[in-house]
Amino acid sequence: MSTVEVTGLTVRHRRTVALDAVALGFGTGVHGLLGPNGAGKTSLIRVLATVAAPAEGRVELLGRDVSGHRERAEVRRRLGYLPQEFGYYPGFTVREFISYVAWLKEMAAESVPGAVERAVERVGLADRIDAKVKTLSGGMVRRVGIAQAIVNEPDLLLLDEPTAGLDPEQRVEFRALLMELGTASTVIVSTHLVEDVAAACAEVTLIESGRVAYRGTTAELTALGEDSLEESAGNAIERGYTAALRAHRALAGAGR
């Protein structure tokens, strides 16, 4: 059974169509969401996080149609979300901020202290748990963002450019965490870093101009790059990404 099911999903921003009748489903595991800037990835993540409503279409999360307020409230307790730019209170300590997020998710009070410590430990900030967020580096703040997203052990985890600001060693550690989380949860990672998808994701969805341009396993996208005649630099999965984009654009152009 899919954790996420969207059909006919259309999102508009004024006169621009950000997503055009998208149909997608996601189950347990780590899923990569790729595409050029402005392709519609963030619009999709925001709808799945229930912070934005579609113009048209049906969205089912964790077995619930989230068009109603009660259903959205229920789902929010069971999901984690890291936007590209997340708001936080700089005067809070790391512990205070993540505890506050746990309270917003209506976690049982007695479980919060342990959950906060586990989340902070998992992102490698145990030694900074009582530091004020405003004293942290950009990469550390990003890790605080990941910790707040996973504090409730979410069934659905949505991450928008999660490795922005992380150094190479931290990105490797983060990929390992993603794969661990994906054993029991549905994790959707929107990123422009193809190598992160190659290392951590089992499945890839490529969005282009608000439509699904490619859907397949990471191995299939890599094979597409190995078989491609593309002369672009990069490894096989990067060449596969380029080949899939060009194929979609050619098909779209032929349909005009």
pLDDT at 232 over 70: no
| Helical (H) or strand (E) element with 162 | none
Q: What is the dihedral of CA 55, 57, 62, 65, to 10 degrees?
A: 90
pLDDT at 157 over 70: yes
Q: What is the pLDDT of residue 196?
A: 87
Summarised one tens digit per residue, pLDDT across range 6-56 is 999 999 988 889 999 999 999 999 999 999 988 999 999 999 999 999 999
Q: What is the pLDDT of residue 254?
A: 65
What DSSP assignment string belongs to 40-90?
A: SHHHHHHHHTTSS--SEEEEEETTEETTSHHHHHHHHTTEEEE-SS----T
Greater pLDDT, 233 or 110: 110
Residue pair 158/188 in contact (Cβ under 8 Å)? The answer is yes
* Gyration radius of the chain over CA positions: 19
Summarised one tens digit per residue, pLDDT across range 164-197 is 888 888 889 999 999 999 999 999 999 888 888 8
Summarised one tens digit per residue, pLDDT across range 100-137 is 999 999 999 999 999 999 999 999 999 999 999 999 99
Nearest-5° Cα angle at 102, 167 to 122 = 35
- Locus of tokens 């899923």: 31
| Helical (H) or strand (E) element with 32 | strand 29-34
Residue pair 92/100 in contact (Cβ under 8 Å)? The answer is yes
pLDDT at 255 over 90: no
By C-alpha distance, which of 101, 86, 195 is closest to 145?
86
Greater pLDDT, 138 or 48: 48
pLDDT at 256 over 60: no
Query: Yes or no: is domain 1-78+156-170+185-256 CATH 3.40.50.300?
Result: yes
- The pLDDT-based confidence of 230 (bands split at 50, 70, 90) is low
Alpha helices in 151-217 (DSSP H): 168-181, 194-200
Burial class of 36 by CB neighbour count within 10 A (0 to 12, 13 to 18, 19+): middle
pLDDT at 242 over 60: yes
Summarised one tens digit per residue, pLDDT across range 65-100 is 999 999 999 999 999 999 988 888 889 999 999 999
Entry pTM: 0.93
Q: What is the pLDDT of residue 203?
A: 94
With residues binned 3-state (H G I as helix, E B as strand, rest as coil), the percentages for the chain, rounded to 5, are 45, 25, 30
Which regions of the chain carry the CATH code 3.40.50.300? 1-78+156-170+185-256
By C-alpha distance, which of 246, 157, 162 is closest to 208?
246
